[in-house]
Amino acid sequence: MPSLSLAIRFRGVPLETAYVEYVYGLLARQAVKYNRLNGLDGILLTLHGDRASAKTHRAVMGDPTPTDVITVRYDATPLAPAHAELFVNPMQAIRCAAARDPATLLREEKDIPWSAGHELALYIAHGLDHLSGADDATYEGYRTMRRRELRWLSDIPDEVLSGLFVS
């Protein structure tokens, strides 16, 4: 299991840090259980707002817009073990949770009482899934990843997911 670190660089809506750490740990254990995250020594999860998200998105992918999650994996070198960074935007989670369109959801998602916390946890799960090499460039890849991520989230009580943001 890689070591997990959390950095909150976000001043928007307050987050329940203990819940974020708990959910991050549970999702990472799920990813390891499904033979994900092999070879990583550590993962840093950084929660940041729109401005930082846009800067990171531009630096990593050449796109200057804010986004949900960006995953960066660093291969081992003679001087450092393999590690990774996940950059997640909680403001995007708030916006997307409020704008979910039932017509675009997978069958498995339609009965879940969704909150911004669910969306934030999904972003963390999605980043961890990408670290394994999973790819959502095709619709089939997207569906496979989303179903796996929803299974990971299903092990977390709804009250914990709904409590990620302080009300």
CATH number, domain with residue 146: 3.40.390.30
For residue 163, is it within any domain? no
| Stretch 98-112: mean pLDDT | 65
Residue 29 lies in a domain: yes
Higher pLDDT residue, 129 or 99?
129
In angstroms, the CA 83 to CA 46 distance is 14
Cα 18 from Cα 99, distance rounded (Å): 27
Number of domains in the chain: 1
Q: Which domain, by its residues, includes 146?
A: 3-158
Q: What is the pTM of this model?
A: 0.89
Task: Tell me the pLDDT band of 82, cut-offs 50, 70 and 90.
Answer: confident
Residue 166 lies in a domain: no
Report yes or no on 115 lying in a domain: yes
Does residue 119 form part of some domain? Answer: yes
pLDDT at 72 over 70: yes
Task: Confirm if 116 and 97 have CB atoms less than 8 A apart.
Answer: yes
**Residue 34 buriedness (CB in 10 A; 0-12 / 13-18 / 19+):** middle
> Could you tell me if 51 and 29 are in contact, meaning their C-beta atoms sit under 8 angstroms apart?
no
